[in-house]
Amino acid sequence: RKEVEQDPGPFNVPEGATVAFNCTYSNSASQSFFWYRQDCRKEPKLLMSVYSSGNEDGRFTAQLNRASQYISLLIRDSKLSDSATYLCVVNARGFKTIFGAGTRLFVKA
């Protein structure tokens, strides 16, 4: 079983749509959780951290379910500029930060 699993997509949505991604992780002792965004041929960039109580940053909402070991990202009112690959990232212990393979999103006019 992969340590971090994501649906690769692609998700094709129109502008203004709401889209949600899920991610599961295998290590129940994991402590830190993040969503990163990676544009084509670019480096990953931190989108947001994920907290147990859930957190929101503008149009983006992240949730963590420790019991089921999954993380979600919700994007409201999608913009063309949201087109990218979204990486689910889990820190299992110490400096061992594990990346999922990513979910591709295409937002179309």
Partner 1 sequence: ETGVTQTPRHLVMGMTNKKSLKCEQHLGHNAMYWYKQSAKKPLELMFVYSLEERVENNSVPSRFSPECPNSSHLFLHLHTLQPEDSALYLCASSQARGGEKLFFGSGTQLSVL
Note the residues at the interface with partner 1 (CB under 8 A). 4, 31-32, 34, 42-46, 49, 87, 89, 91, 93-102
Amino acid residing at 29: A
Q: How many residues does the chain have?
A: 109
Per DSSP, 69 falls in state T
Report in angstroms how near the CB of residue 90 gets to partner 1 at its nearest.
10
2/18 with CB nearer partner 1: 2
Per DSSP, 82 falls in state G
Report in angstroms how near the CB of residue 57 gets to partner 1 at its nearest.
14
Report in angstroms how near the CB of residue 53 gets to partner 1 at its nearest.
17
Count other Cβ atoms within 10 Å, centred on residue 97.
13
62/78 with CB nearer partner 1: 62
